A and B are shown apart, each in its own frame.
Chain A
Amino acid sequence: MDLGSDNASTLLEDYAQSVSELTFNSRPIIDNLTTIAQENPANADGILNIITNRIYKAIPDQKLYALYLLDSICKTAGNPYNILVGDDIFKLFSHVFQLGNETIRNTLSSKLFESWKVTKVRGNFPLFPREQLDKIKTFLDKAGYPKKNGNGNSPDLSNMTLIEDTNSLIAVFQSRLQSHPDAKLSDRFNALQELKKLLLSQQMKPAELKAVQAQLNTIKEQDNNHNSNINTPMPTPATTPAATPGASRVEPVKNEADTLFQALLLYGLVKVDQDPIPGSKPDYSIVLPKIKYQIPKGDLSNSALQDILTANLHSSIHRSEYEKIKFGELQVVSKQIASDLQGFLNNNKPRISDLNFLYDAKSSKCALCGKRFSTDTDGATKKRLHLDWHFRINKKLSSSTSNVQSRNWYLDDYDWVNFKDDALLEFSTSETGETKDAGIVAKTNKVAFVAVPANDSNMNNRCIICRESVKATYNDELGEWCWFNCVRAPGEGKNSRKIMHASCAVESSKKRGAEDEVNGLKKQKV
């Protein structure tokens, strides 16, 4: 037994490792882990420990996948798993439910739980103890789940719905073929493939569609019988009646284990009428997927895997709070337009909750111009700079009668290509702009005058920028006639009369920013 326990610990380690990989809804992983559990009933305690641990410890979005695994094991392997975990099932279910998001809650309440109500393990025992299931039902009733949605039950027949239906059947048949090769099965599998091709290639009339649907239903029926044929001869494992106290009062549903339907139920492709009349056949209906226009292509788990990979990759990019919201909302759009761009344009009904990045995520609105800012640190800084800018501009526009400062010609191609619009905005340039201003002002505070050239007798001058006249005044300290608050135009000689107001100079240098060097040269030539 030493060897055995050694093997067991390796097995459990490997198992725990694989379970931790259940970060997305992966059919292959779940199938594989289910098979291992089925083959090692001796380690049921250990395996269940691992899974329940995973359910409790995984992040909320991933709990569901571990619960799926548990569900798959209980349904496929049954005893001893369903009995061992039976008394905890309410705790586990409510745990995942409470921490899950809306989608998870809907899945749990309308699909998983519904399937538990009707699933029977060998020997006609319910999957989980009746009292636990009742507890879950009471719990869900209080929470108001499952939510009724009117359109889910009566899907319009179209090629699309039937293709999905066929796809799910093909997937089931494929996995079954791999485990139990069977000539009949493979015939039926091929027939389904043909049917899918047909559905994909041509538009069918409603009557034809109905016929196809009937055909599909027949295949399902046959498949049910087929399953019961496989399952009945199998030795019925001993069950502990004590563990299933309500066994005798169970809802009378179909007697035979129905793995195919359980699979379909589990993945929400088929919905069961919630309260079947005793003795009657339950009413099955196909459930339309929630997201429109997403045709499952190839292996579902692959696309899920891809999602996870991209999400991981993209999470490495640093984003502000606002950018995170925008990213999330646009990811949803990206997925939908990948399959049908025109359909999205025509039919998507944009709701305000999908447009947070245009409105609510930028909830701080400038009172002067209506520009929106986010409330994160990035947005707060921008808003502060923005308001400063309004203040500066308003002050300037109210103080000067004419608005002729810092006006420019258009740029030429070369300058435009290398121009950065940041130089026009209130945000990124303001830092450098303000320090530059400060520098010029500080300098001009000391020497903000131009001495009238010695050989010049005309004391009246004009600012070359704003054209306002400037009169020279005599300064005792300097002993010279000076034009105060003015600077000489850049590049002019000592005796030049070309002067401009210090404030005009600051304005023009600030507004022009980087492109000024290039333009300045040109202008002087002019």
Chain B
Amino acid sequence: MSIPGFGAEAQVYSETGSKGLVEVAIPEGSEWRIEVPHKTILKFKVTEGVAEIFGTELPINVELQISGTKTMVYAPIIYETFKNKTVMSNESEEIVEYLSNDSVMANYINLHLVVEAMRQQVSDNNILNPTELQSGPRVLIVGNGNSGKTSLAKLLSAYAIKSDSTPVLVNLNPRDGVFSLPGSLTATPISDSLDVESANGWGFTTTSGSLFHNPKQPIVKNYGFVDVNENLDLYKYQVSKLGVTVLSRLEEDIACRNGGVIIDTPALGIKDFTVIENIVSDFEVNLIVVLGNERLMIDLKKRFKHKSALQIVKVPKSEGLVEVDEAFIRRTQEESIKEYFNGNYKTRLSPFKTDIDVNDHTIYKCVLSSDVNSALSFLPAEPSSSNLDNSILAITQLPSTHKSGRELLNTSILGYVHVSKFDDAKGKIKVLLPFPGGFPRNMLISTNIGFNE
């Protein structure tokens, strides 16, 4: 079949070596699994039928671009008269793509049905008994590394928004920047559909201004490392702080209250039980979903025996999961940092370069748990080119009139800046702000997140 207007566009692709168009028909209930390396762009459009990327339905005949991702397009339905068809311009041999009908999506849809049925009961109750308000399901997703936790969280979020619910998505994996940069722990009400074209498939926030998608509004807590075990005490502390904030939001916001919470986590096993236990109590979790790890489910059931209101279930992990290596993770992190400052091909942002005087600011650094006995402290960092160059600075919400590093534990993040160069001699720091304006005179935290422009 010919697609109007597509031929002309194909010319554009030829610059990067287009080999022409490939048409893919995705049978009902099948997945079109795609692996696109970084720096390679896959352009495609759905021409007929219904196709979703982790629950987010794709528009018909609108060209989409994805890059640096291992994802899948799922075709949930087939109508008599339609086929689920996708056209892509296959421009690189590095792109891996194949069809598979070995899908666990049915189990994931069941999980959404369960969660949505719980929300329905809660929202009905909240209308009928306004004096005894309940909260929607607080769902915790746990599992090994590479078990598809984030994909499942994405899927549950996307289906929730399709069902007119507004859950709060909590990301407790500092490796991924969800609606923020890596090193952060965030909570974001999912009030509109996700942006499948963005760097990690979540989307943009109010930091990015006018967008093709409605922006989201996260609350951002700083952790500053990508690995949970670098400073477990600080991690747990920030998780519980975030828990307080999220539960308060649920108290204030009926839409979020009915929608509940979906929590994505780093790879946790039974040896990390205290972390899981903390999360469960901090967020008042009432449904734990264990991904593809029967043993972990049984262990958790034993350990949580005393919690009668807590349900623990398992869902299988997808066969389509591919191992992602450190380099790939690192590149994805860089992409999300780049996107925070520069946007993407659809939403070009104009970051703002400026110089700040180091003496006007106090920069703190959180200590590594191995460095000091109490890992819960921030020390004033000695600014130097060696520790600041090419790193990310977190601007806290605390005005710099506060003199104690202790208070940094209880604040959240106003935004991030990138330090490209620290001039030791002049005491000037070259920074990149996400948008023009004065540099906030707030306390700064230097993170362990590095980034080269």
Contacts and interface: CB of A to CB of B under 8 A. Distances in A.
A432 interface: no
B412 A412 contact: yes
- Most B Cβ at <10 Å: residue of A342, A410, A507, A525: A410
Contacts of B411: 412-413
Given A330-B117, A330-B120, A348-B110, A419 B209 contact: no
A402 B436 CA distance: 12
Interface string B375-404: 000000000000000000001010100000
A25 B438 CA distance: 72
A365 to B, nearest CB: 7
A358 B311 contact: no
A337 interface: yes
A368 interface: yes
Nearest to B396: A412
- Interface majority SS (helix, strand, loop, mixed), chain B: mixed
B238 interface: no
A3 interface: no
A407 B211 CA distance: 11
A317 interface: yes
Contacts of A59: none
Contacts of A419: 217, 249, 253
A370 B116 CA distance: 21
B162 interface: yes
A94 B311 CA distance: 47
B309 interface: no
B267 interface: no
A421 interface: yes
A342 B313 contact: yes
Given A369-B212, A369-B213, A348 B113 contact: yes
B116 A368 contact: no
Contact of B208 (A407, A411, A416, A417): A407
A171 interface: no
Interface in A333-353: 333-334, 337, 341-342, 344-346, 348-350, 352
A326 B62 contact: no
A458 to B, nearest CB: 20
Contacts of B43: none
Interface in B14-66: 50, 56-62
B59 A407 contact: no
Given A314-B124, A345-B114, A368-B62, A410 B210 contact: no
A207 to B, nearest CB: 30
A418 B219 CA distance: 12
- Most B Cβ at <10 Å: residue of A314, A350, A405, A426: A350
Contact of A407 (B207, B256, B438): B207
B110 A345 contact: yes
B210 A397 contact: yes
Contacts of A403: 208-210, 343, 347-350
A393 interface: yes
A409 B414 contact: yes
B86 interface: no
A408 B210 contact: no
A425 interface: yes
Contacts of B107: 345-346
A355 interface: yes
Interface residues of A, number: 68
Contacts of A408: 206-207
A421 B315 contact: no
Interface stretch (B187-195, B328-336, B354-362, B421-429): B187-195
A406 B56 CA distance: 27
A396 B120 contact: no
Contacts of B255: 420-422
B210 to A, nearest CB: 6
B426 to A, nearest CB: 23
B99 interface: no
A346 B297 CA distance: 14
B146 interface: no
A345 B313 contact: yes
Interface string B415-435: 100000000000000000011
A511 B204 CA distance: 14
Contacts of B372: none
B314 interface: yes
A467 interface: yes
Given A345-B114, A411-B217, A511 B209 contact: yes
A379 to B, nearest CB: 10
Given A348-B113, A350-B106, A424-B214, A511 B206 contact: yes
B312 to A, nearest CB: 9
Contacts of B438: 526
A341 B210 contact: no
A521 to B, nearest CB: 12
B394 to A, nearest CB: 10
B192 A424 contact: yes
A345 B439 CA distance: 51
A395 B57 CA distance: 24
A327 interface: yes
A352 B207 contact: no
A396 B249 contact: no
Contacts of A417: 245, 248-249, 251-252
A413 B219 contact: yes
B123 to A, nearest CB: 9
Contacts of B216: 421, 424
A424 B191 contact: yes
B210 A406 contact: yes
20 contacts: A314-B124, A314-B128, A326-B163, A330-B117, A342-B314, A345-B110, A358-B163, A362-B162, A369-B213, A370-B60, A402-B348, A403-B210, A407-B349, A410-B205, A410-B414, A413-B245, A416-B217, A424-B191, A424-B215, A525-B441
Interface of A: 313-314, 316-317, 322-323, 326-327, 330-331, 333-334, 337, 341-342, 344-346, 348-350, 352, 354-355, 357-359, 362, 365-372, 393, 396-397, 402-413, 416-422, 424-426, 465, 467, 507, 511, 523, 525-526
Given A409-B415, A419-B217, 5 more contacts: A323-B164, A334-B117, A407-B435, A421-B191, A422-B191
